[in-house]
Structure 1
Amino acid sequence: MPSTRLTYETRGALAPLLLMALKSAEVGVVVKAQDGSYLYASGLPEYFPQITLPGATDADLFEDDWHDQILEAQDEVLRSGQEVVLELVKTSNKQYSACECTVQRYESAGIQSVLITFVDLTRERKREDTLKALLREVSHRSKNLLAIVQSIASQTARTSDDLGFFLTKFRGRLAALSSAQDLVTDSNWRGANFRELAMHQFLRYVEKGDTRVSVTGDDVILSPNGATHLGLALHELVTNSVAFGALSNRAGHVHLSCEGDEEGCFSVIWDEDTGTVHDRTLSEDEINGINGKKFGSTVLERVVPAALDGTADYDIRPHHVVYRLHFRSA
């Protein structure tokens, strides 16, 4: 591409176009005279003070530590001839500001002086800080999930007679955990609605609209931690009901309710009529279940309430099961 020699008139025509380009790129400019006063200033970030031209100086534009830093940078530029890039950051209770300043030496009519360009980094730094916070939160939640999985594995192993039983129970509990996590993730980590969480657990074992199941009460929003552990509790209750209780026959009924108050306290009640004949003889498997082994009593009575810093009451009878979980969402 052939070069075109810039005439005085051409340079004059280009000057406003270059300034327009700098403004569009959100780059501020300060041009200084030999005596240190400002000849020109434009496009500075809004957190810099308003200055009067000509005549303004560094002391009018830069405050406190920024003033010392910019003077040191200019001395280095004038001495070495190499540009200096520095990032000026100010943090207070009301404001966070970050600006990249590039200090360069220029020469006009044999006289050396300074040109400073400004690029506002505030939004970029805030995005970076937000990303770092999110990554820390993801790391924290991942560690919590791994701790939950480890606890589930330990508790399941303690009540398993063989590997097959362990795998069946462990996989089911992991699936329940995954289902609750999906709801939490879909809500951008705000939590999960109680009814949606409950139906996700029921629908893994019964068809939609099954008249044996009713869910009532407040459709409260549970915190991520509350949703995760309540999902585990509901999984235990549902699978127990499918194996031994109301959902193992057509005569049973499960009523699940939740009530929350303004202080974030919740009461979840599982009330199950097993639908079995009251005077019939129970099988050995049912007796084992009622005694707690097959009902996941450890998870329901210890793991879940402890994780939520709450309390649980688990009343198991041959024909009626009531589980009450009280906790504060956190």
Structure 2
Amino acid sequence: MTWFEPQRGDEQLREFFITALIDMGASLILQDRDGAYVCITSLPARWRLVPGVVPSDNSIFGPEIGRKLAEMKAGLVKAGDRVEVEIEAGDDTFFEFRCRMVEMADHDLHMITVVIDRTEDRRRERLLRALLREVSHRSKNLLAIIQSIASQTARYSGTLDMFLGKFRGRLHALSQSQDLITDSSWRGAHFRDLLKQQVDRYVQENSDLVHVSGDDVLLTPNASLHIGLALHELVVNAVSHGDFLQRRLAIEVSCNRIETPVGSVVVILWAEPFTARSDDEAKSARFGSTVLERVVPSSVNGEARHELKNGQLRYELRFPLEIFD
């Protein structure tokens, strides 16, 4: 139903409708039953009326689009007939043409064509599809990481309780790293944020005993997940098997970006004071060595050293820095 005050002038109504159409990004075209143009409102800027030339589909939209419109309109013969088509107009722009045959007040047939700019809609759709593909890709990567962690954890767990305890901790570390990655719009996570997550969870009351220095490198999503996992292993091992808390000796952690002839390299060093009184204690100090020495280095195309020497447990990880724009 449409209503307007009879006393309002046509000029005011015309201004209202044209403004509304422009705001909607739509154009209206009215043609008589023979295809002659009667009225055009808010024509998109890419198409212009040529002075002195009688408007037609060809003169306005060009021969290619004009031919498509002619074929489309040929099937409209009675009131109520309608057809829609989306046309790529060049320069990565898209327009939807909606044509409908209507019967006017004098019972004469006219054709109304609504032209709607769909360019932004299509760009958003492409972006959404790209994001969904990216989410799918990253989800598969994350599932592969979880599968690898589960396999490695099961291989070196003597009991089900031991497996569950270690696996849950590693899974939570992945979850925390993933939160940082998501918060950064998938750019990755900074090294110090990854370290702080683990320190806050396991040694919050003694966080002053974990000193960090060097560069706060932004790591790629893949590197963030694995470095977060490595830091989880190191912190848990220090709390469970180390003696730095009892001796009140600080753990020194550094992360440095080094420029080399072949590109940037990240060097992470964990230096923890630890004095082993027996072979069992020395073995305990390197608990989780499979993750630290194999899983993490392999996943970031790097190399690692994990050793107990001269009263200090040292873990050094080197890997190439990947940079995404």
TM-score band, normalised by the shorter chain? 0.7 to 0.9
Partner Cα separation in structure 2 for residue 44 and residue 308 of structure 1? 55
- Which residue number corresponds to residue 86 of structure 2? 87
What is aligned with 1:27? 26
Query: Where does the alignment leave 5 or more consecutive residues of structure 1 unmatched?
Result: none
Q: Could you tell me which of 170, 177, 181 is aligned with 2:167? A: 170
Measure, in 1, the Cα distance between the counterparts of 2:217 and 2:4.
Answer: 73
Residue 16 of structure 1 and its aligned partner are, at CA, apart by 4.9
CA contact (8 A) 1:212 1:246 kept: no
1: CA distance, partners of 2:203 / 2:193: 15
Match of 2:269 in 1: 269
CA contact (8 A) 2:18 2:42 kept: no
Q: Is contact 2:79-2:109 (8 Å) kept?
A: no
Q: For 1:16-165, what aligned pairs fall within 5 Å after superposition?
A: 16-32=15-31, 36-46=35-45, 48-52=46-50, 55-63=54-62, 65-78=64-77, 82-90=81-89, 95-106=91-102, 112-165=109-162
Look up the SS of the partner of 1:196 in the other structure. helix
CA distance in 2, matches of 1:75, 1:106: 15
Larger deviation, residues 202-211 vs 302-311: 202-211
Question: CA RMSD of the aligned region, Å?
Answer: 3.1
Name the count of aligned residue pairs.
317
Aligned match for 2:197, one of 194, 197, 200: 200
Q: CA deviation at 1:248?
A: 4.5
Q: Identify if the C-alpha distance between structure 1 residues 181 and 260 changes in structure 2 by more than 3 Å, giving closer, same or farther.
A: same
In the other structure, the counterpart of 1:233 is: 230
Q: 1:250 to 1:65 in 2, by over 3 A?
A: farther
Contact 1:180 1:197 in 2 (8 A): yes
Question: 1:315 touches 1:322 (CA, 8 Å); kept in 2?
Answer: yes
Equivalent pair of 2:200/2:207 in contact (CA under 8 Å): no
| Partner residue in 2 for 1:212 | 209
Task: Decide whether aligned partners of structure 1 residues 26 and 5 sit closer, same or farther in structure 2, where only a CA change above 3 A counts.
Answer: closer
3-state SS, counterpart of residue 75 of structure 2? helix
SS in 1 for 2:201: coil
Question: Are 1:289 and 2:288 an aligned pair?
Answer: no
Matched residue, 1:306: 298
Query: What residue identity is the alignment partner of 1:76?
Result: G
Unaligned stretches of 5+ residues in structure 2: none
Return the TM-score normalized by structure 2. Answer: 0.85
1:265-312 CA-partner distances (Å, limit 9, x unpaired): 3111112222x3xxx73263x14325x4xx211111111111112222
Deviates more, 1:307-316 or 1:28-37: 28-37
Distance 1:287 1:327, change over 3 A: closer
SS at structure 2 position matched to 1:200: helix
